[in-house]
């Protein structure tokens, strides 16, 4: 090859690489779409291929942004605890106990994000709460590709019941439980916190009798950039948000909110708010391109109408996740809010 051919080849390498990357993305999403069709009967094949590629890329980016784990590497005190078994598949949690903890520790149940269809209990960006004397139980739950709503709530409630039942053995204070989560996890945490007495969301116990609502009640809720009203979220969303939320809701509800209105209402925290709900802390970025900040405004308004305690912290310049939500000051704010709720 002469020098001219070499230069031409070099000049073509970058476009070729970009084209190859897009071909990979398109093929990967085609495979993902095929799997989704087989498992959930999604009807998205009518979309043009270009839109499918855009959907795949934007969904991937949104999931990774919403579930960033930026806490320092701290190993769980007890890892891989089985809190329930569903269809012969164990559901696991990792427990973190503050170093040097004397006596039973107050607990924060952490629910990871990932558009309800991705993520894992290993994503725990709030580990610095350990410095404030708060234990953390980070849980796995059935993702929407494996089971439709309300399976996710059943699993979260099962984890709370397990942790409360085994509190003495695990070094936890069963009277001081809080729940927190980010993105989809923020939505699920808020929903679990305000719906402990909703019969449709109570999981069956081992002998198929309902778990007592008292067993599931927490003392505080923290929702970071989570959804609150699945009936209004699409109208509030940006084009990027829609590219994420439409397929995510399709998996979660096995249909769109207007097709499954009763299920969408059941899955919306705003539906269940009343005057007996635990204190709620909301954190949401005013530059969030994916989860409309109006979702947090709606939940704040529902709490205010019910006369329940709510605090809404707008994270200026905050997007969908990222360091702004987990600074020392933010972690201290979360810890102080939870501790004050325990004292009430």
The string of pLDDT tens digits covering residues 59-107 is 444 444 444 444 458 999 999 999 999 989 999 999 999 999 989 999 9
Q: For the chain, what percent of residues have pLDDT higher than 70?
A: 77
For residue 285, list its beta bridge partners: 315
| Whether the predicted pLDDT of 48 surpasses 80 | no
How many domains, in total, are found in the chain? 2
- pLDDT score, position 106: 98
176 and 319 within one domain: yes
Per-residue CA distances from 23 to 15, 18, 62, 151, 334 (Å)? 12, 9, 20, 35, 44
For residues 106 and 208, membership in a common domain is answered with yes
Average pLDDT over residues 260-272: 98
Are residue 48 and residue 84 in the same domain, yes or no? no
Give residue 50's pLDDT band: very low, low, confident or very high (50, 70, 90): very low
Asked whether the predicted pLDDT for residue 58 surpasses 70, the reply is no
Instruction: Say yes or no: 49 and 178 in one domain.
Output: no
Mean pLDDT of 240-262: 97
> Do 109 and 222 share a domain, yes or no?
yes
Do 27 and 128 fall within a single domain?
no
Quote the pLDDT of residue 156.
97
Q: Are residues 32 and 178 in the same domain?
A: no
Q: Would you state the pLDDT for residue 14?
A: 35
Say which residue the tokens 């569903």 belong to: 86
| Residue at a domain's end among 24, 44, 63 | 63
Expressed as residue numbers, the domain containing 206 is: 71-343
- Do the beta carbons of residue 63 and residue 247 sit within 8 Å? no
* 221 and 262 both lie in a single domain: yes
pLDDT score of 304 more than 60: yes
Does residue 327 carry a pLDDT above 90? yes
Q: Is there a single domain that holds both residue 129 and residue 273?
A: yes
In this structure, the answer to whether residues 116 and 245 fall within a common structural domain is yes
- Size (the chain), residues: 344
Mean pLDDT of all residues in 289-302: 97
Among 63, 95, 114, the domain boundary falls at 63
Domain end (from 63, 88, 108): 63
The answer to whether residue 46 scores a pLDDT higher than 50 is no
Return the pLDDT at 51.
40
More confident residue, 202 or 36: 202
Residue burial 220-231, b: 16+ Cβ < 10 Å; e: rest: bbbbbbbbbbbe
pLDDT (tens digit per residue) in 113-127: 999 999 999 999 999
d(CA 78, CA 76): 5
Q: Residue 230 is part of a domain; what is its CATH number?
A: 3.40.50.1820
Return d(Cα 205, Cα 145) in angstroms, integer: 24
The CA-based angle 154-165-210, given to 5 degrees, is 40
268 and 220 co-located in one domain: yes
Average pLDDT across the chain, whole number: 84
Identify whether residues 312 and 291 lie together within a single domain: yes
């Amino acid at each position: 090859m002469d020098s001219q051919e070499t230069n031409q080849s070099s000049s073509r390498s970058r476009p070729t690489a970009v084209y190859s990357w897009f071909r990979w993305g398109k093929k990967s999403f085609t495979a993902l779409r095929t799997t989704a069709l087989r498992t959930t009967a999604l009807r998205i094949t009518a979309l043009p291929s270009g839109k499918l590629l855009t959907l795949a890329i934007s969904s991937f980016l949104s999931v990774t942004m919403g579930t960033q784990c930026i806490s320092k590497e701290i190993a769980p005190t007890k890892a891989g605890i089985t809190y329930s078994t569903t269809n012969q598949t164990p559901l696991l949690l990792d427990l973190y106990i503050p170093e040097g903890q004397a006596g039973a520790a107050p607990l924060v149940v952490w629910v990871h994000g990932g558009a309800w269809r991705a993520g894992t209990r290993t994503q725990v960006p709030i580990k610095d709460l350990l410095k404030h004397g708060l234990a953390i139980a980070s849980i796995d739950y059935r993702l929407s590709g494996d089971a439709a709503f309300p399976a996710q709530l059943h699993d979260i409630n099962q984890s709370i019941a397990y942790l409360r039942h085994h509190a003495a053995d695990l070094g936890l204070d069963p009277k001081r439980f809080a729940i927190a989560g980010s993105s989809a996890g923020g939505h699920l945490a808020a929903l679990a916190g305000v719906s402990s007495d909703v019969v449709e969301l109570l999981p069956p116990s081992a002998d198929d009798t309902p778990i007592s609502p008292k067993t599931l009640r927490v003392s505080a809720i923290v929702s970071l950039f989570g959804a609150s009203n699945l009936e209004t979220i699409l109208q509030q969303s940006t084009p990027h948000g829609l590219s994420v939320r439409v397929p995510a809701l399709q998996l979660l509800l096995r249909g769109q909110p207007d097709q499954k209105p009763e299920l969408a209402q059941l899955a919306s925290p705003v539906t269940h708010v009343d005057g007996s709900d635990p204190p709620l802390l909301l954190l949401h970025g005013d530059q969030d391109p994916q989860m409309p900040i109006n979702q947090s405004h709606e939940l704040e308004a529902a709490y205010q109408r019910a006369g329940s305690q709510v605090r809404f912290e707008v994270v200026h310049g905050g997007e969908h996740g990222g360091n702004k939500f987990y600074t020392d000051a933010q972690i201290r704010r979360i810890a102080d809010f939870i501790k004050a709720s325990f004292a009430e």
